[in-house]
Structures are given as structure tokens and as C-alpha cells.
Amino acid sequence: MKHLSAAILFFIGTAESAVAQKDPLNHEMVFVEGGTFQMGSNWVESDEQPVHSVTLSSFNIGKYEVTQAQWKVVMGSNPSNFSGRDNCPVENVSWNDVQDFIRKLNAQTGKNYRLPTEAEWEYAARGGKQSRGYTYSGSNDLGSLAWNTDNSSSKTHAVGGKLANELDIYDMSGNVWEWCSDWYGAYNSYSETNPTGASSGQPRVLRGGSWNGSANYCRPAFRFWNNPDEWDYDYGFRLVLPIEDESKSEIQTETIKTDEEPLTYVEQDAEYPGGSAALYKFISENLIYPEYAVEKGIEGKVIVKFVVDIDGVAKDFEIERTSSGGQSLERAAIDVCKRFGKFKPAMQNGKPIKSYFSQAIVFQLAD
């Protein structure tokens, strides 16, 4: 039986307790498989209506809210009211402030991070294809997964300190409100694909509730808004990284021997023939789900790190991280990686160079 989903993930951060990341520029991302869901709610608020069908492509979203440590390494300062707490979410930031952060982050990393659309945010908060229909993001028990007005002691808390939702994403209910990319506007009644919200407007959308908010605000469908230049002690954000931006290789520049001054740029990253879509297709068609895992109903994700040598050959496969599944999934992941065709090697100064990939393979049983 073959798995249903696999994705290229690169620059995956290492998260310890309360997300003490080794490199604050590395934002740990969660792969969210695309699908169709019913956006909105008929429960309380009129701006959550009408409930309508939305179809989204796959994307990667931050496992955690952006922290004060991550903000400081990019911006060189900390605007937070609850400052001096590196693992707490950055707050006191406007939508415009966040855009400045993203521009500088992308310039430093060469990536294309952005804010989630309102639809992406709600889909991820609901648990995507793994959704169990909870009232909040991951449970019907708000206290187990969210810092809100009932338990926060009127302050933010370290990200990842409560339970995650079905997709292993933290704090999508509570802690800080999260800016989205959309203008705030009325919902359409018809089905939409990858919607980006109103075409114009004044306020921008915030989602998720906060340490200063009630239970109602922490529901995945609840909508809040403010002007893009406004900030508050409970306004923060998390990032999205498009799937197509995940196929870049990590260049090991220190292995290059040259008589010239060390180069600080790469002409061309290593790339699989046909790009990330072709590599995704190869994995999807060739990865075999172990029989033991099928019998036990095991699902999981394995991150494999490997070298792309100067001749384009992938080799030296290592398990970087495993999220459930054990050795049977690890062996299957490495086995499919060993069957890759040749990559186009990374190029610098007209010469091929050695590079590294971190590739996440997601195992998911059919419904």
C-alpha cells in the first residue's frame, strides 16, 4: 500500500521544550495537506456567515507563533510589552511591522515566507484533513490547549506550552491574536479555491484569540480585525512557507576549495529534474507503506537528510527526525530516497558544489 502524501521541507528548525530554537532564523514548519472544508460558522457571529466551501492547495505553516528571539535576530530590537522572554510570542506588532519583518527575513534566508491567508489559517486551526470537529483548535477543553483570560494571569506564555491540535500545531487558540494577510470583508456564498479575502479595504484580519480574550474568541471560525498600523499587547503572528519554496538545498560552502576570496552567493541551488513537483510525484508513486504500519494503523513523518554531491548523486542518507512510526517508516523513507535519479548539482563560480537536503516524507493511511 502506498502512502498518500509526501512533501519537500527545508530549513526545518529544531524545537526543544518551549521552542528554544538553535537558530532563530529557522522557523519550524508543519506540512498541511490541501483539501476542501466548510469555512465559517452559523454559531454566533454574523461575519462568520455564510458557511461556504473552500478548497486549498497544500502549504507549510509555522508550528509555533513567531517568538521574541526570532524577531530580535531579524529586526535587532524587541517591541514586546512582555519583553525579555525569548520563547514567548512577539507581540505589540502591527500588520505593517510584520511586513517589514517578513521582507528582512526573506532577504536573509532567500525564502518566501508570508502571512497565512484567512482561509489557510482557519483550515490549519481546524486540523486540516485530520480535523475532528473540535470547538477549539485541537480540543473541546479550552484550558488544555489555550492561554486565555481564564488562565493566563494577564500575560503571554512560552509557545508550545499547551497541547497541539490534530496537525501538531500549537497556540492556534489563545496566547496572541495572529495577523493574516487578508483585508477584512464579507464572506462569499459560493465555493472558492485558494481565496485571498477582500480585494481592498482598511482593516486586516486577526485570528485565534489571545491571553486577554474569552473562550468565544478562541474558536477557529472567530474573526477579528484592526487597521494595519495598529498594534496591541496581544497581537502577534505565525508564518506560512509555500510548498514550491521548499526544494532549495543547503549549500556547504566551506568545502569549496578556491584561490579566490570566498564567495557569498550561489548561482544555482541543487534541483531535482522537473523541480519539487517532480520529486514530490516520484515519492508519492514509489514510497511503499510498510505492512506492519498498515496493520497497526501507524501514520507519521520522517525527515531524511542527505548529500547531493558534485555529480548530482544523492547519498549519505541519515534520519534527521521522526514523528511517530518507528524504524519501519524510517527504513521505507530511506529506501525511496536511495532510488532518486540524479539532481542538478548546486553551482558556484561556474563549478558544481556539494550541498545538503532535508526532506520530510509524510505517511498517511487512506480513509
Domain boundary (225, 243, 261) is at 243
Question: Nearest to residue 166, comparing CAs of 194, 130, 112, 191?
Answer: 130
Q: How many CB atoms lie within 10 A of CB 363?
A: 26
Burial of 261 (0-12, 13-18, 19+ CB in 10 A): exposed
Looking at residue 210, which CATH number applies to its domain? 3.90.1580.10
pLDDT exceeds 90 at position 65 = yes
Are 312 and 284 members of one domain? yes
Look at residue 10 and tell me if it is in a domain.
no
C-alpha span between 18 and 35 (Å, rounded): 30
Look at residue 5 and tell me if it is in a domain.
no
C-alpha span between 218 and 122 (Å, rounded): 11
What domain range includes position 327? 247-363
| Three cell numbers written together for 156 | 503571554
> Three-class SS of residue 119?
helix
- Measured in Å, how far apart are the chain's first and last C-alpha atoms? 13
Give the chain's domain count.
2
Are 211 and 109 members of one domain? yes
Look at residue 132 and tell me if it is in a domain.
yes
Average pLDDT of the chain?
Answer: 84
Q: 20-29, 151-160, 211-220, 255-264 — which is least confidently predicted?
A: 255-264
Look at residue 183 and tell me if it is in a domain.
yes
Tell me the mean pLDDT in the region 86-114.
Answer: 94
pTM for the predicted model, two decimal places: 0.65
List, for residues 295-354, the tens digit of each pLDDT value.
Answer: 777 778 888 889 999 999 999 998 877 777 678 888 899 999 999 999 988 887 778 888
Are 232 and 252 members of one domain? no
C-alpha span between 35 and 124 (Å, rounded): 11
Contact in structure between 10 and 357 (CB atoms under 8 Å): yes
C-alpha span between 257 and 310 (Å, rounded): 13
Are 93 and 180 members of one domain? yes
How remote is the C-alpha of 326 from its chain's centroid?
A: 23
Looking at residue 326, which CATH number applies to its domain? 3.30.2420.10
List, for residues 15-30, the tens digit of each pLDDT value.
Answer: 223 343 445 677 889 9
C-alpha span between 36 and 278 (Å, rounded): 24
Q: What are phi and psi of 264, to 5 degrees?
A: -115, 15
Are 231 and 84 members of one domain? yes
List, for residues 126-148, the tens digit of each pLDDT value.
Answer: 999 999 999 999 999 999 999 99
Which residues lie below 8 Å from residue 216, measured CB to CB, with a gap of 6+? Answer: 44, 222
Angle subtended by helix axes 68-75 and 95-109, to nearest 10: 70
Domain boundary (227, 243, 259) is at 243
Residue 118 banded pLDDT, cuts 50, 70, 90: very high
DSSP string, 215-247: GGGGSTT--EEE-TT---TTEE---EE-GGGS-
Contact in structure between 86 and 151 (CB atoms under 8 Å): no
Question: Nearest to residue 204, comparing CAs of 88, 124, 82, 116?
Answer: 116
Look at residue 2 and tell me if it is in a domain.
no
Are 211 and 334 members of one domain? no
More confident residue, 322 or 103: 103
Are 274 and 159 members of one domain? no
Look at residue 111 and tell me if it is in a domain.
yes
| Residue 321, beta-bridge partner list | 303
> What is the percent of the chain with per-residue pLDDT over 70, rounded to a whole number?
85
Domain boundary (243, 268, 287) is at 243
Strands (E) across 85-183 are located at 177-183
Are 114 and 251 members of one domain? no
